[in-house]
Amino acid sequence: MGYIPRNWHKAHKDSLSLGDRAADSMRNGMGSWGFVFFFVAFLTGWAILNTVATIHHWDKYPFILLNLFLSMLAALQGAILLIAAKRMDGISAAMAEHDYETNVAAKEEIERLMDINERQLKLLETLLDEHKLTRKITHHE
């Protein structure tokens, strides 16, 4: 009963740096359907405004400026996703350590309970033997 569970997730979340929180937030945003739909709408809008609109086309087909922005975005996304993946490796290792500690504590508790159970069985056997002996003595008298 000496084991006191701790809230690993809360302790971990409290220890995150601003950069870690930013990487997680960006990973969660970029890895969502909302981001995909927004990006498709943005690209479609860019293409429409630079091909069919009657306004000034700042990036005419083949959209060189858009390609530059997409290349820069891909480079940043790659770095951010690597940072987030590295953090996830650290989280997985910490969770595995926590699971191990929990398993060790559970094993100790189970062993303690098994010892108690074994002592109880021995006491019951002793009581049963004494009861049989008492019945035997009272039947012979």
Select from 36, 54, 55 the least CA-distant residue to 44: 36
Look at residue 7 and tell me if it is in a domain. no
User: pLDDT tens digit string along 84-97?
Assistant: 888 888 888 888 99
Look at residue 6 and tell me if it is in a domain. no
Model pTM above 0.95: no
> Does the pLDDT of residue 98 top 60, yes or no?
yes
Look at residue 123 and tell me if it is in a domain. yes
Look at residue 8 and tell me if it is in a domain. no
> Does the pLDDT of residue 124 top 90, yes or no?
yes
Percentage of residues in the chain with pLDDT exceeding 90?
Answer: 46
Look at residue 108 and tell me if it is in a domain. yes
Q: Model confidence at 119, in pLDDT bands (50, 70, 90)?
A: very high
The amino acid at residue 48 is I
> Does the pLDDT of residue 1 top 60, yes or no?
no
Look at residue 68 and tell me if it is in a domain. yes
Cis previous bond, 5, omega within 30: no
| Range 6-13 average pLDDT | 70
Handedness of CA 104, 110, 114, 117 (dihedral sign): positive
The two tokens of residue 69 are 């922005």
What pLDDT score does 94 carry? 84
Q: Residue 132 sits in which domain range?
A: 16-140
Handedness of CA 26, 30, 33, 36 (dihedral sign): positive
Look at residue 1 and tell me if it is in a domain. no
| Range 77-81 average pLDDT | 86
The two tokens of residue 23 are 């990487």
* Per-residue buried b or exposed e for 98-120, using 16+ beta carbons within 10 Å of the residue's own CB: beeeeeeeeeeeeeeeeeeeeee
| Range 43-71 average pLDDT | 91
Q: Phi first, then psi: give them for residue 114, nearest 5 degrees.
A: -65, -40
Domain count, the chain: 1
